A and B are shown apart, each in its own frame.
Chain A
Amino acid sequence: GAVVSQHPSWVICKSGTSVKIECRSLDFQATTMFWYRQFPKQSLMLMATSNEGSKATYEQGVEKDKFLINHASLTLSTLTVTSAHPEDSSFYICSARKGVNTNVLTFGAGSRLTVL
């Protein structure tokens, strides 16, 4: 199978601090990972595509300096929400693609961020 782990599953932080969320592929190597944001009762909004060893590709309207993505290894991508504010509170979900020639994705369980 293919398993993706996200950590932490939930985090509460103060406004102005930075928060790092990890996405790990546990039993496969993922050259590509995706980060999504989901608002209550809404669909997933793709934030960025994370490629191992290169810079992430951000979707239009997503601030790359606000949402820092690092994909340093084939099994780990991180999303850092910098100088978080209450409007950044959301459910963040990552997914990973096993292999190159596939469009089947495995999703993490999500990380709920609450900024006070």
Chain B
Amino acid sequence: GNSVTQMEGPVTLSEEAFLTINCTYTATGYPSLFWYVQYPGEGLQLLLKATKADDKGSNKGFEATYRKETTSFHLEKGSVQVSDSAVYFCAPSLRTASKLTFGTGTRLQVTL
């Protein structure tokens, strides 16, 4: 089955700082990889995805590259904003799988 390891939070950064949230996974087959974001009191929203090796997903200034050789999908953003404060979940999923496997989530807190 699939499993995910995310860096433990909380991660506290000042506005405009560089962000990296590490994610490594184990999976049978060749999964698609996702990052979801959960803002306070809300459900999850798809942030970005990558479906094959070396693909780069990007959205709202966030990026993550599918690294098959290191089984990683680290999330990065060059300059975070206060509005980016949320919990970020990494999740692999096989194309025909019925469910996503979520990491424990990493809480990001951005301060002025």
Contact = CB atoms under 8 A, between A and B. Distances in A.
A28 to B, nearest CB: 15
Nearest to B100: A105
A46 B46 contact: no
The B interface, classified by DSSP as helix, strand, loop or mixed, is loop
Contacts of B105: 42-43
Given A43-B104, A43-B105, A49-B99, A103 B94 contact: yes
Nearest to B45: A107
B32 A109 contact: no
A43 B4 CA distance: 11
A34 interface: yes
B49 A34 contact: no
A67 to B, nearest CB: 16
Contacts of B62: none
Interface string A1-23: 00010100000000000000000
A101 B97 CA distance: 9
Contacts of A107: 36, 43-45
The 3 residue pairs across chains A and B that have the minimum distance between CB atoms: A107-B43, A103-B93, A107-B44
